[in-house]
Amino acid sequence: MKIGIIGTGNIGATIARKLKAAGHDIRVANSKGVNGVRAFAEEIGAEPVDVRGAVNGVDLVVLSIPLPALSALPSDLFSSVPDGVPVVDTSNYYPVLRDPRIAELDDGMTESVWVAKQIGRPVIKGFNNVLAYTLAELGLPKGSPGRLAAAVAGDDPKAKETVMSLVSEAGFDPVDGGSLEESWRQQPSTPSYCCDYDAATMRKALSMAVKGQAAAKRDELPKHFAKLGANASHGEVVAMNRSFNPLD
């Protein structure tokens, strides 16, 4: 597939590397224009583009930029992109740790529903409930014992299926997280969020999520990170995430 990826940070760059390695034709864009992304593109064998080049003439788009930046993308960015081209949203909302407060999200709107509103078209939520380290280092081939899972949510069954197959190519068992509206179940500090679970456990975790409970836990994160210290290991972060929502 021809895949355009906007954002070449922790998540976007890893998705780009993995999907390039899986044989896809990758275009990458960041905030710095074609020349600003050229070195990374050359390193992985992708085409450097600007944000318009990442969405026009591709089969699928991945948006992997900070959530508030999604509302600052050009308002006509997707106007020439056919409806059948899936747009994947990897974003998460962290108002206390990183992002400015967004009233609609604080009032309970599902994050990716808000994202879809900002860009003026539906999205598929994917790659958001695995940590960057997990995505880069802990993927395994399909069928491997202990393979970890990542949730995928959205309303268009065909687009969701396509994104689920990309999640698998990236090394993870894709788990259907339901509709876009229901994707609050895979948002920060829910039971399924960044806990390095296998598919069966992730399904259980998604089903145990209680609407409205995660935001307060998420906003306590600075306190928990302070306790862990600056050099927390990946295992310590995962254990902390699991401790917010015990499954037994």
Contact positions vs ligand NAP (CB under 6 A):
6-12, 29-32, 36, 51, 64-67, 69, 72, 90-92, 128, 131-132
At residue 146's C-alpha, the angle toward residues 140 and 149, to 5°, is 70
**Beta carbon of residue 167, minimum distance to ligand NAP (angstroms, whole number):** 12
**CA gap 37, 34 in Å, rounded:** 6
**Beta carbon of residue 30, minimum distance to ligand NAP (angstroms, whole number):** 3
Residue with Cβ nearer ligand NAP (11 or 202): 11
Residue partners of 198: CB distance under 8 A and separation at least 6: 146, 147, 148, 149, 173
Question: Does residue 179 contact residue 206 with C-beta atoms inside 8 Å?
Answer: no
Residue with Cβ nearer ligand NAP (84 or 220): 220
**Beta carbon of residue 9, minimum distance to ligand NAP (angstroms, whole number):** 2
**Beta carbon of residue 7, minimum distance to ligand NAP (angstroms, whole number):** 3
Residue with Cβ nearer ligand NAP (84 or 106): 106
Query: What is the three-class DSSP state of 152?
Result: strand
Residue with Cβ nearer ligand NAP (39 or 226): 39
**Beta carbon of residue 248, minimum distance to ligand NAP (angstroms, whole number):** 26
**Beta carbon of residue 85, minimum distance to ligand NAP (angstroms, whole number):** 18
**CA gap 134, 171 in Å, rounded:** 10
**Owner of token pair 């070195």:** 39
**Beta carbon of residue 65, minimum distance to ligand NAP (angstroms, whole number):** 4
Q: What residue type is 240 in one-letter code?
A: M
**CA gap 37, 46 in Å, rounded:** 10
**CA gap 242, 217 in Å, rounded:** 12
Residue with Cβ nearer ligand NAP (88 or 159): 88
Residue with Cβ nearer ligand NAP (55 or 85): 55
Report strand pairing: 2-6 vs 25-29: parallel
**CA gap 187, 61 in Å, rounded:** 21
Q: Which residues pair with 173 in a beta bridge?
A: 149
Query: Residue with CB nearest ligand NAP?
Result: 9
Residue with Cβ nearer ligand NAP (32 or 142): 32
Backbone angles phi, psi at 45, to 5 degrees: 80, 30
**CA gap 74, 52 in Å, rounded:** 9
